[in-house]
Amino acid sequence: MPDVQGEEMRSSFILTRVGIEGVKRPVIIRRPGREVTLVPTFDISVDLPAEQKGSHMSRHVEVIHRAVDHAVRDENDSLEKLVERVARDLLRSHEYAAYADVKLSADYFLQKESPDGRNVTENYRIFARAKVRKDDEIPWRAIGVEVSGMSACPCAMENVRVLLKRELREKDIDEERLKILDMIPVPTHNQKNRTFLEIGMAGPMDIEADELISLIESNLSSPTYEILKRKGEAELVLEAHRKPKFVEDVVRDIIDGFLDRYRNLPDEAVLHVKSVSEESIHKHDAFAERISDLGELRDKTRYMKV
Amino acid sequence: MPDVQGEEMRSSFILTRVGIEGVKRPVIIRRPGREVTLVPTFDISVDLPAEQKGSHMSRHVEVIHRAVDHAVRDENDSLEKLVERVARDLLRSHEYAAYADVKLSADYFLQKESPDGRNVTENYRIFARAKVRKDDEIPWRAIGVEVSGMSACPCAMENVRVLLKRELREKDIDEERLKILDMIPVPTHNQKNRTFLEIGMAGPMDIEADELISLIESNLSSPTYEILKRKGEAELVLEAHRKPKFVEDVVRDIIDGFLDRYRNLPDEAVLHVKSVSEESIHKHDAFAERISDLGELRDKTRYMKV
Amino acid sequence: MPDVQGEEMRSSFILTRVGIEGVKRPVIIRRPGREVTLVPTFDISVDLPAEQKGSHMSRHVEVIHRAVDHAVRDENDSLEKLVERVARDLLRSHEYAAYADVKLSADYFLQKESPDGRNVTENYRIFARAKVRKDDEIPWRAIGVEVSGMSACPCAMENVRVLLKRELREKDIDEERLKILDMIPVPTHNQKNRTFLEIGMAGPMDIEADELISLIESNLSSPTYEILKRKGEAELVLEAHRKPKFVEDVVRDIIDGFLDRYRNLPDEAVLHVKSVSEESIHKHDAFAERISDLGELRDKTRYMKV
Amino acid sequence: MPDVQGEEMRSSFILTRVGIEGVKRPVIIRRPGREVTLVPTFDISVDLPAEQKGSHMSRHVEVIHRAVDHAVRDENDSLEKLVERVARDLLRSHEYAAYADVKLSADYFLQKESPDGRNVTENYRIFARAKVRKDDEIPWRAIGVEVSGMSACPCAMENVRVLLKRELREKDIDEERLKILDMIPVPTHNQKNRTFLEIGMAGPMDIEADELISLIESNLSSPTYEILKRKGEAELVLEAHRKPKFVEDVVRDIIDGFLDRYRNLPDEAVLHVKSVSEESIHKHDAFAERISDLGELRDKTRYMKV
């Protein structure tokens, strides 16, 4: 059969990426002690030199099939290794390519204990990416998570406190009794917050997605839980109101926690943190974001903390 | 050219709907005093008798073009009249059809005054539908809106109050001073709430979308605004916390308000109300919904209020 | 802790549905010979009587947790039994409810053999629903699938044939040689087609999702495959062009095949078939749809086939 | 009222972007001879220095309101000027910010003439972005479009031709008559293709979105039209089959056409072209993409064309 893709081109342009998007395939990741089935969506590509007409698209899906079959047979696997293996196989099977880029995203679940002591299954998103160059020993890999939690606004809380005191004074409540308002959290707007964190670098990277999830959850106003009985719900609301945070605070505190936890990562590693609050008082969302290498972040803290 | 769609079928099935989905077209609606440009998405269809192979699909889009051009020329128009006109024209242009069904949805904007007296533009969704039968003088029409606002949970608020009192008692705050906690709203979880209302009936219907939006906004814990300065924000938070509501309350209060406002609508008119709270303490959404004709709702209220 | 949901209402409205939307949970379905892990999204609800203020929302998620845990322990399970079990448990745990409604949808995968003899994993959507009434022994259940395949337009093909002959005649090709154009399929527009089929009924229903998928695939112009080498791809294109179909044809042929395959289903069972072609020559999509009980469809065929 | 955002921070991190997402506002663009109403979605942000706790979020929406009101009053406007004006105003109103980033996307419509001479309204997406630095006179701006059209696969067509000849030979059709198969396009898979083009650069840029749309449409296998009668449809199918293209070809030919058309743009301008084919024979999509500055593209062509 004619191989039109393989035709030589007289004059053309390099293409940065040629590949397929939106391929879903169930994958089993075997960790010590448990086995996780994920249903990731893959976006994979290679580059295309100027003198080649087309990429052999069917090979892209074949590589995914091989990688997934391989993952099912092997133990001690991880998503980062899976995307790296797909990227390396892409380079082998597209002999004209110099570069392969593989991304996946999937729903991810963890067993957690709720504030009132119940076992609940919580839902997250997980991301992995590998970029491999033919002439380069060291692949670039990234792992990321998206966590839904709660943010409570510190500004509205202080202004509500002022309004409440004003109202109570008008009802002739004396200042002594008003002091109670400084001892308790007062109402503010709170809402669903989605926070994304991704860390990427060349070379081996020993980072657990579950730790990244914990890092985000501990730096929101509070995590959320799928099951909360009345007491647990009230305690969670109080926890969030005792840790009110702007999206700006969420991003900064996560960066701070990340630098503290992962001191051994190289300065060249790139951290991306984005937090989105689905504002309960507006129709739009508010967000804060930082993309930076760790070197810049570390200098900054050192400088600032002096 | 061969007319394959027009071929006669020896034995086949009636089709309930044959048409096109996802057609976008800008439309100008001329109201007294203002002109509104909307960009609706249309889903339109006719039925197909058993003996006809195919529907002439190109006529569907032609009808939309004609209706939109017509709408641009005419004054005093409305979305309900637009969908009805499209449905009638579909029946005329598909001579084999007995039934036409036309739906549209669009972003919709209103100028509002914020709590701190600013002019703001607020964003809603608007819906319209017409179903017309060839042998039927009276078309069925519906109009609907979706409004984003705020819901604050009444249950968590009461339980937070109990917890706060317990904590303050442990700090030896006396009962007299604790009474302040019964005079003020205390923290609860609040969140974005999306509420949908649609009313449909045969025959003329004189209902303004803007009124339906107001009806929903006045029955949420509070409306939301695109711009809020510090004082307005704090006042809105307090308003919502003084009117805490379950999604169940939102739906019931809207039904109550609707029956009160639209006493002249026939018992056969069908009301659909659905409210979804994007729970700030959970990863999932909570919802409540009622679909019913007004007769049933009116009987129920009469019965219940006795 | 105060139970605000449990408060009695003096006068209110019944709610058709109160529940939660968008809960994702991994589920293992054990079939003889294989084990399938799915990640369904659940929408579940109960009704709410007029005299009860709120539904106990946390119980909804607890029921899903219990049902999923149960599913993991049991053998020979199915999605229809899973949704029924969730619905029955909802009724037990919401003692005030008379009705429970449970829906799920999930990505679903099958191993198939491609035209050139390769094993490929193909991606589908699967749907299940159960509605259970407290005073009713027989639950209503539904199962559905969505299949992506290929539709090729029969009308454009005939008109292209006319144009091609006209062009060749102008080049003085004689009629004898033009006859070749009647022996081969000529170009037409073809595209991704998404077809949905759902069958619902009261009482036990022994229908395999895999059979419904086959039924749809065999009634499209052709199925699609994730991996196709050059020869397989060309054969598939020819297969689709030898079976050109309108969306109307797809829906009717599926109904015909369904009635033929499932002769024992009761007349009261309701069949819903919808086919959407993502038209390659337009920016919009074309669709055809039939919703009907089998009795009506059977009468119609009998009548029509006489 | 307390200004919590304005509080000074002792030690923190710079934030790359703090702002709001998903704000929709109708906008009127006045061009010579016509007035276009768009309903864009805005994502806007400023950076945040390390010593400032929070961004004043309400000012973001105020700036959009002012810019939109201004746009309504002014003539000869453009989307690029609108986003630049919003970005400049953001910098003025957030005195602590050094950088503002404004993006919008909107549905966009053009009147076109269909192959059979009808006036049709076609639907596109339009994009604009401005990035402005406080200490920099020259803003960076970008304009982009997304166009839906048709791609027909050149590889499958050649392989179908081979198969058809083989079949006809088996039916004893002589070689002389088989030559007709080399005179006509034979079937291949074709599908909806979505192609995105964006050009960005510092300094003034005189590029019409309508020209970018034409550039894409002329480099697809064919454009698509919302209304096609039988003859027009057949002609369009033939046009696409006479210009079969891989996604790779689409991207390369658009780059070629762009370099040819916009010779005066500086080497530093960055071009991003991505084409996605919603493969009719697969469940996934295929894509090709190039991101590059014009200098690199120009060198490459020069080199290649020697």
Distance (Å, rounded) from C-alpha A276 to C-alpha A253?
15
User: Taking a C-beta distance cutoff of 8 angstroms, is the pair B145, B207 a contact?
Assistant: no
Would you place residue A140 in the very low, low, confident or very high pLDDT band (cuts 50, 70, 90)? very high
Question: Does B197 lie in the same domain as B133?
Answer: no
* A30, pLDDT greater than 80: no
Q: Do B14 and C300 touch (CB under 8 A)?
A: yes
Question: Does D111 lie in the same domain as D18?
Answer: yes
Indicate whether A267 belongs to any domain.
Answer: yes
DSSP state of D40: P
Contacts of D112 in chain C (CB under 8 A): none
Token pair of D240 as six digits: 């696409």
Q: Do B187 and A237 touch (CB under 8 A)?
A: yes
Of C12, C155, C290, the CB nearest to B16: C290
D290 at interface of A, judged by CB pairs closer than 8 A: yes
Residue of B nearest to A169 (CA): B180
Question: Does B103 lie in the same domain as B195?
Answer: no
Of C1, C14, C289, the CB nearest to B15: C289
Neighbors of chain D by Cβ distance (3+ pairs < 8 Å): A, B, C
Q: Do C155 and B5 touch (CB under 8 A)?
A: yes
Indicate whether A3 belongs to any domain.
Answer: yes
Token pair of A184 as six digits: 């308790």
Phi, psi of A254 (to 5 degrees): -65, -45
Q: pLDDT tens for residues A106-129?
A: 999 999 998 888 888 999 999 999
Residue D40 confidence (pLDDT): 94
A236: closest CA of chain B, how far (Å): 8
Of B150, B236, B283, the CB nearest to A122: B283
DSSP H or E stretch at residue B71: helix B57-73
CA A213 to chain centre: 8
Q: What is the largest CA-CA distance in chain C?
A: 93
Identify which has the larger pLDDT, A28 or D107: D107
B168 at interface of A, judged by CB pairs closer than 8 A: yes
Question: Does B119 lie in the same domain as B199?
Answer: no
Considering its fold, how many domains does chain D have in total? 2
Q: Do C2 and A230 touch (CB under 8 A)?
A: yes
Place of tokens 């203020």: C53
Residue of C nearest to D124 (CA): C283
CA atoms within 13 A on the CB side of B157: 24
C236 at interface of D, judged by CB pairs closer than 8 A: yes
A185: helix, strand or coil: coil
Sign, CA dihedral D252-D254-D259-D265, equals negative
Question: Does B120 lie in the same domain as B3?
Answer: yes
C280: closest CA of chain D, how far (Å): 4
Q: Do B288 and C155 touch (CB under 8 A)?
A: no
pLDDT, tens digit only, all 306 positions of chain B: 788 888 776 668 999 999 999 999 888 887 767 788 899 999 999 999 888 888 888 888 888 888 777 765 665 578 888 899 899 999 998 988 999 999 999 999 999 998 888 888 999 999 999 999 998 779 999 999 999 999 999 999 999 999 999 999 999 999 999 999 999 999 999 999 999 999 999 988 889 999 999 999 999 999 999 999 999 999 999 999 999 999 999 999 999 999 999 999 999 999 999 999 999 999 999 999 999 999 999 986 554 433
Query: Would residue D141 be called left, alpha or beta, if left means φ above 0 and alpha means ψ between -120 and 50 degrees?
Result: beta
Looking at chain A from residue 13 to 32, which residues have their Cβ under 8 Å from any Cβ of chain D?
13-23
Q: Do A3 and C230 touch (CB under 8 A)?
A: yes
Neighbors of chain C by Cβ distance (3+ pairs < 8 Å): A, B, D
Residue A219 confidence (pLDDT): 98
Indicate whether A82 belongs to any domain.
Answer: yes
Residue C51 confidence (pLDDT): 85
State the angle between helix axes of B294-305 and B247-261 in degrees (0 to 180), rounded to the nearest 10: 100
Q: Is C81 exposed, middle or buried (0-12, 13-18, 19+ CB in 10 A)?
A: middle
What angle (nearest 5°) sits at the alpha carbon of residue D272, between those of residues D266 and D278? 155
Would you place residue A164 in the very low, low, confident or very high pLDDT band (cuts 50, 70, 90)? very high
Side chain identity at residue C214, one-letter code: S
Question: Does C197 lie in the same domain as C180?
Answer: no
Indicate whether D146 belongs to any domain.
Answer: no
Indicate whether B269 belongs to any domain.
Answer: yes
Question: Does C167 lie in the same domain as C287?
Answer: no
Of B26, B123, B226, the CB nearest to D109: B26
Place of tokens 């519906």: B142
Domain hosting B249: range is: 189-306
B112 at interface of D, judged by CB pairs closer than 8 A: no
Residue D174 confidence (pLDDT): 92
Q: Which of B18, B198, B219 to mutate to test the interface with C (most CBs of C within 10 A)?
A: B18
Of A4, A48, A301, the CB nearest to D158: A4
Strands A41-48 and A15-24: antiparallel
Looking at chain C from residue 56 to 85, which residues have their Cβ under 8 Å from any Cβ of chain A?
58, 61-62, 65, 68
C-alpha to C-alpha distances, B250 to B188, B219, B287, nearest whole angstrom: 17, 6, 10
B42: helix, strand or coil: strand
CATH code for position C203:
3.10.270.10
Question: Does D209 lie in the same domain as D127?
Answer: no
D248: closest CA of chain A, how far (Å): 6
Residue A261 confidence (pLDDT): 96
Indicate whether C274 belongs to any domain.
Answer: yes
State the angle between helix axes of B230-242 and A154-170 in degrees (0 to 180), rounded to the nearest 10: 70
Would you place residue C300 in the very low, low, confident or very high pLDDT band (cuts 50, 70, 90)? low
Bridge partners, C106 (sequence order): C126
Over the Cα atoms of chain C, what is R_g? 25
In chain A, the N- to C-terminal Cα span, in Å, equals 70
Q: Do B65 and D123 touch (CB under 8 A)?
A: no
Q: Most confidently modeled of A77-86, B19-28, C187-196, D291-300?
A: C187-196
Q: Do A55 and D248 touch (CB under 8 A)?
A: yes
Question: Does C69 lie in the same domain as C105?
Answer: yes
Question: Does C103 lie in the same domain as C2?
Answer: yes
Instruction: Over range C28-48, report the average pLDDT.
Output: 87
Cβ-Cβ contacts under 8 Å between C and D: the total is 157
Q: Do C233 and D281 touch (CB under 8 A)?
A: yes
What angle (nearest 5°) sits at the alpha carbon of residue C50, between those of residues C48 and C55? 30
Distance (Å, rounded) from C-alpha D66 to C-alpha D182?
62
D255: closest CA of chain C, how far (Å): 23
Q: Do B160 and A278 touch (CB under 8 A)?
A: no
Question: Does C197 lie in the same domain as C88?
Answer: no
Alpha-carbon dihedral B26, B31, B34, B35, rounded to 10 degrees = 10
Q: Do D288 and A4 touch (CB under 8 A)?
A: no
Last residue of a domain, one of C137, C171, C199: C137
CA C175 to chain centre: 47
Phi, psi of C228 (to 5 degrees): -140, 125
C104: closest CA of chain A, how far (Å): 16
Q: Do A120 and C26 touch (CB under 8 A)?
A: no
Q: pLDDT tens for residues C245-261?
A: 999 999 999 999 999 99
ipTM confidence: 0.91
Distance (Å, rounded) from C-alpha B87 to C-alpha D73?
38
Contacts of B280 in chain A (CB under 8 A): 150, 190-192, 224, 280
* A74, pLDDT greater than 70: no
Strands C15-24 and B285-293: antiparallel
Residue B205 confidence (pLDDT): 84
Please provide the DSSP assignment of C35-73 as one string: EEEE-PEEEEEEEE-TTB----HHHHHHHHHHHHHHHHH
Contacts of D289 in chain A (CB under 8 A): 15-18, 45
Indicate whether C142 belongs to any domain.
Answer: no
* C232, pLDDT greater than 70: yes
What is the percent of chain C where pLDDT is above 90? Answer: 69
A107 at interface of B, judged by CB pairs closer than 8 A: no
Contacts of D162 in chain A (CB under 8 A): 1-2
DSSP H or E stretch at residue A142: strand A140-152
Distance (Å, rounded) from C-alpha B72 to C-alpha B68?
6
Tell me which residues of chain D have a pLDDT lower than 50. 303-306
Residue of D nearest to A1 (CA): D159
Residue B287 confidence (pLDDT): 96
The per-residue pLDDT of chain A, averaged, comes to 90
State the angle between helix axes of A247-261 and A294-305 in degrees (0 to 180), rounded to the nearest 10: 100
Residue A10 confidence (pLDDT): 61
DSSP state of C180: H
Distance (Å, rounded) from C-alpha C251 to C-alpha B148?
38
Token pair of B222 as six digits: 């509070």
Would you place residue A195 in the very low, low, confident or very high pLDDT band (cuts 50, 70, 90)? very high
Token pair of D208 as six digits: 């019409």
Looking at chain C from residue 184 to 223, which residues have their Cβ under 8 Å from any Cβ of chain B?
none
Query: Would residue A28 be called left, alpha or beta, if left means φ above 0 and alpha means ψ between -120 and 50 degrees?
Result: beta
DSSP state of D8: B
Residue B11 confidence (pLDDT): 61
Distance (Å, rounded) from C-alpha D71 to C-alpha C272?
49
Please provide the DSSP assignment of D127-185 as one string: EEEEEEETT-SS-EEEEEEEEEEEEE-HHHHHHHHHHHHHHHHHTT--HHHHTHHHHS-
User: Taking a C-beta distance cutoff of 8 angstroms, is the pair B14, B48 a contact?
Assistant: yes
Contacts of A41 in chain C (CB under 8 A): none
CA C231 to chain centre: 30
Indicate whether D23 belongs to any domain.
Answer: yes
Residue D73 confidence (pLDDT): 62
B183 at interface of A, judged by CB pairs closer than 8 A: yes
Question: Does C160 lie in the same domain as C132?
Answer: no
Distance (Å, rounded) from C-alpha A61 to C-alpha A84?
15
Cβ-Cβ contacts under 8 Å between B and C: the total is 166
User: Taking a C-beta distance cutoff of 8 angstroms, is the pair D101, D44 a contact?
Assistant: yes
Q: Do D278 and C278 touch (CB under 8 A)?
A: yes
Last residue of a domain, one of A102, A137, A172: A137
Contacts of C68 in chain A (CB under 8 A): 121
Q: Do C50 and B247 touch (CB under 8 A)?
A: no
- Residue A257 CB: number of other CB atoms within 10 A? 15
Q: Do D281 and C237 touch (CB under 8 A)?
A: yes
Of D171, D231, D241, the CB nearest to C187: D241
User: Taking a C-beta distance cutoff of 8 angstroms, is the pair D6, D49 a contact?
Assistant: no
C233: helix, strand or coil: helix
